[in-house]
Structure 1
Amino acid sequence: MQQAIVDFALDDENHWYAILACGHTQHVRHDPPWQNRPWVITEQGRNEKLGVMLECRLCDGEYPL
């Protein structure tokens, strides 16, 4: 199920994660070459992604709560 990004936060290891409208979270790391998301390292880049839809695997029931 697609959910909008409503905010971002850092975890204990300083990795960014998105807070979704449903209340679930999803990491959005910039970890080349596996994950290329340079936008996540700047405040402007993160702000530009607010409202973007991400697939929430928890809402889809892919992972147990």
Structure 2
Amino acid sequence: MDQVIIGFQLDEERHWVARLACGHYQHVRHQPPWQNRPWVTSYQGRASMLGKELTCVKCLENAPRDWN
């Protein structure tokens, strides 16, 4: 299920996490060749992704919200 990105924050290991409109968090790492997300590495790149959609695996699994 696709969900809108409404913000970003760093987790305790200093990895970027997207905050999704559904109430879930999702890591958005740039780790080629597995995950190619160069936009994560800069403020401008992350800002350009606000309002875009990511597939939320937690929604697909009917997981409880990570935040309210």
Q: TM-score range by the shorter chain?
A: 0.7 to 0.9
Report the count of equivalent residues: 64
Q: Percent identity?
A: 58
Larger fraction in helix: 2
Computed over aligned residues only, the root mean square deviation of the Cα atoms, in angstroms, reads 1.3
For 1:16-53, what per-residue CA distance to the aligned partner results, in whole angstroms no more than 9, with x for missing partners? 01000011011000112211111101000000000111
- Counterpart CA distance in 2 for 1:57 and 1:34 is 17
Q: Could you tell me the TM-score, scaled by structure 2's length? A: 0.84
Q: Which 5+ residue runs of structure 2 have no aligned equivalent?
A: none
- Counterpart CA distance in 2 for 1:55 and 1:7 is 15
4+ residue stretches of structure 1 with deviation over 2 A?
A: none
Q: Could you tell me the TM-score, scaled by structure 1's length? A: 0.88
